[in-house]
Chains A and B, each alone.
Chain A
């Protein structure tokens, strides 16, 4: 263990250095300590003391233990990585440091039980696997077959969270309108493992990913389409490909293809001013900014406005990197800033395409003076599928 003295002197030791080095693969070394990361980190906008990303990188280089808090603040939004002049994979390094913290049992309260839930119930919410299909009770969504165009992967949040179930139902509505033949894995759908990865349980996440790769190969999955960008990121970047492999897509990408192919046509309209909030895991982490906008632009009546910080510069909602399962005090929630940006842009609807973003933004939405409705892109599309689209309904859903 490295030791710090009262006068600020830090005593380094080789064992910790070696341990950090092995965990991070030395990826922190290219960092030349310019501090762009600290300056761009959104925590600096809600807290007096920003998240000292630069210091975290220096500590990773030298093998200095963390204070135990800052490591868990990172939402893995990736804006620091995007701007880092040295291309340091900061999020990956922080995950590696988190994995060491697990071994030392320096873990924020509440996280072990979330992982236990993934381990036991196959979802981070400790909810029964048999209830995984309840969202589709009256929809008659069939079981996936290899002849299907694609596998619709719900993910845990869309399966269990009543608010996000509406998003899943809207996606199904869009797919059906476009005549897509698809199925789901029903009650046997596994967790994608992103929660474990984000929390730094890299070995456990890899275990889940390997099982999922086998499952997809065995079931003959060629294309998997996810509701959540987090599941998409997991399948796209962290799940191995077996046999012929599979293509991972976020549902906005799939819908955008349907729009471009002329298969998905909105005959109704959505006469609202809509701003799109880029989810970090879709945008910065996977470079997809256009697909959701393509879908929104295909909707008659919708007037698309851009937020002050958008696309690669988008501000995070605050829920990534496992933060969805940790408490963020009032006044420190990024989503509060984001809904204000939406109000400033004159948006009536703040659209996004991620279950976590919806949850956070919807909770912050009542803070702005004008009415601001948070909707998923799929919900807006579903609303405009048919001519007599119903009026925007209110969803002030608190906890």
Chain B
């Protein structure tokens, strides 16, 4: 391997690249801040969040509250939307200036893209798509041990980057718990790291950015789910979801019938969801469905059939017709507004 641009003894602190959509941080970035905090505390290192983009003031303030000792902000108009060239240039400048020991990315499309290019630019190793991270404090230069698993090999491999710095890894979203917002007074400090991007080196130009209609119900904190029992009418469920700030979900039958779009399907061939609460209406609860809500914290099931298997997967069981249960619930929620 090529000689490291950064010497191990000068590399310090654990860095997390903070991915965002301009207004809020991605879930995986919060997960990495939580894991990064844990690793930092165990090793006595500091934790730094790297925030890149354009006009980031409010987001930088927001990012301070999730356990990082410092948020480093790198701003430039060319960083307004993600492009490989611009972001790699900017990130490389920050890394060479600040010399992180460890640098973590979410294994998202942008995270994977940036980390791969950056690792080559920095002449260091990248452990991709990790499912666990550990730190070896007995090693002189705080070795990161990253768990990588894959079929083909069958078993997990623990990968370390011995000589080169930073020790880089992309981490699969969803494997760690996200960081919680800290109370005031516990926030880190903010600093800026100026970057210079040569527009001539940015080979792609984003002409227009359009955000699709597709929903991602795996990220929903609350779900209102309908099945065969809604008999084609998701209206009540939609109203309820609106009042609760929830997303709509559906069983396969409801999708097959064309009552609702396919990207809301829950279950074996749909999405596996992890909401805090799921209100499941008129779903019988075949295993192919319930595997999609096993990870929900609380499941409320409404079904007129007391024998419906869905009740075995529910924390609260309402044996009644959803059309007589939901209207008063909706009225009550509206009144309490």
Contact = CB atoms under 8 A, between A and B. Distances in A.
B288 A359 contact: yes
Interface residues of B, number: 26
A378 B227 CA distance: 30
Contacts of A113: 272
A207 interface: yes
A325 B154 contact: no
A63 to B, nearest CB: 20
Contact of B152 (A103, A161, A325, A359): A103
Contacts of B268: 125, 324-325
A58 B176 CA distance: 46
A125 B289 CA distance: 11
Contacts of A163: 286-287
A242 interface: no
B227 A398 contact: yes
Given A162-B312, A203-B154, A125 B269 contact: no
B110 interface: no
Interface stretch (B34-42, B251-259, B323-331): B251-259
Interface in B257-271: 267-270
A160 interface: yes
A179 B102 CA distance: 65
Contacts of B160: none
A398 B269 contact: no
Most A CB contacts (10 A, CB to CB) among B252, B285, B287 go to B287
A321 to B, nearest CB: 14
Contacts of A325: 268-269
Contact of A399 (B149, B253, B312): B253
A127 B291 contact: yes
Interface in A19-37: none
B284 A399 contact: yes
A279 to B, nearest CB: 18
Nearest to B265: A327
A204 B151 contact: yes
A167 interface: no
Interface in B275-320: 283-289, 291, 294, 309, 312
B228 interface: yes
A183 to B, nearest CB: 25
A119 to B, nearest CB: 8
A330 B256 contact: yes
Nearest to B255: A330
A399 B287 CA distance: 8
A115 B294 CA distance: 18
B7 to A, nearest CB: 35
B294 A326 contact: no
Interface string A327-371: 100100000000000000000000000000001000000000000
B294 A399 contact: no
A399 B227 contact: yes
B151 A102 contact: yes
Contact of B251 (A161, A162, A326, A399): A399
A14 B73 CA distance: 50
Contact of A161 (B154, B267, B287): B287
A330 B256 CA distance: 6
B336 to A, nearest CB: 33
Interface of B: 149, 151-152, 154, 227-228, 251-253, 256, 267-270, 272, 283-289, 291, 294, 309, 312
17 contacts: A116-B149, A119-B151, A125-B268, A161-B286, A161-B287, A162-B285, A162-B287, A162-B312, A204-B151, A207-B154, A325-B268, A325-B269, A327-B269, A327-B270, A398-B228, A398-B253, A398-B284
